[in-house]
Amino acid sequence: MRYADDCNIYVASERAGKRVMQSVTGFLRRRLKLKVNEFKSAVARPQERKFLGFSFSGGKEPKRRIAPKALLRCQQRVRALTRRTRGISVEQMTQELATYLRGWKSYFSFCETPSVLERLEEWMRHRLRSMIWKQWKRSQARFRELRQRNVSAALAAQTVASPHGPWRIANSPALSAAFPKAYFDALGLPRLLAGD
């Protein structure tokens, strides 16, 4: 054996952790002739460490959760795929996003914190609504598009006249009604929760 990847060893106390760390490190070096990365190795509580993109929540009944860095990488990828300056339609953008999310979901559906996935889903829909609002550009186009999606004339006019920016407008009653979850389902945007 020339190389060992990440591994976690769980014990009952910090003292036991230090003892096990010393003995396992010695075994790997002496018997297997492997180099242990001291910088990445540590004795710590499970919720303070990450392993293959996962970590644990705290509390009496710890749950598998997506590590913060893994969530951040996902959000960065979604931002890159949904940039308004890409000059592609929302349909094409959603298809590219769906391809990425299917792979991401198959890996991270193992997590036990559904609220995180719910928030991520809502953030993505919010981002897509914001992008659509920016693409419409002019007030007349915005009003017309909202009316075509069964938004009342009064609510459409109020939304178009709003001084708020696209991100705030994307969460408004008008855009939530014009682009509900079912709209993104129809475009093929996958739900991240296992049962959806």
Pair type for strands 64-66 and 54-56: antiparallel
Measuring CA to CA, which residue among 148, 146, 176, 141 is closest to residue 158? 146
Whether 149 and 143 have beta carbons less than 8 Å apart is answered as: no
Measuring CA to CA, which residue among 19, 7, 194 is closest to residue 107? 194
Confidence at residue 55, expressed as pLDDT on a 0 to 100 scale: 87
* Tens-level pLDDT at each residue, the chain (196 residues): 555 577 888 898 999 999 999 999 999 889 988 888 888 888 988 888 888 888 888 878 888 899 889 999 999 999 999 988 888 888 999 999 999 999 999 898 888 888 899 999 999 999 999 999 998 989 999 999 999 999 999 999 999 999 999 999 999 999 999 999 999 999 999 998 755 5
Confidence at residue 195, expressed as pLDDT on a 0 to 100 scale: 56
**Start-to-end C-alpha separation, the chain:** 42
Which residues face 56 on adjacent strands?
Answer: 64
Confidence at residue 3, expressed as pLDDT on a 0 to 100 scale: 57
Confidence at residue 39, expressed as pLDDT on a 0 to 100 scale: 84
Alpha carbon distances (Å) from 140 to 85, 98, 125, 152: 22, 31, 24, 15
- The model carries a pTM of 0.80
Q: Which two tokens stand for residue 46?
A: 């499970």
Q: Which of helix, strand or coil describes residue 65?
A: strand
Confidence at residue 4, expressed as pLDDT on a 0 to 100 scale: 56
Length of the chain: 196
Crossing angle, helix 114-136 and helix 90-108, to 10 degrees?
A: 170
**One-letter amino acid for residue 27 of the chain:** F
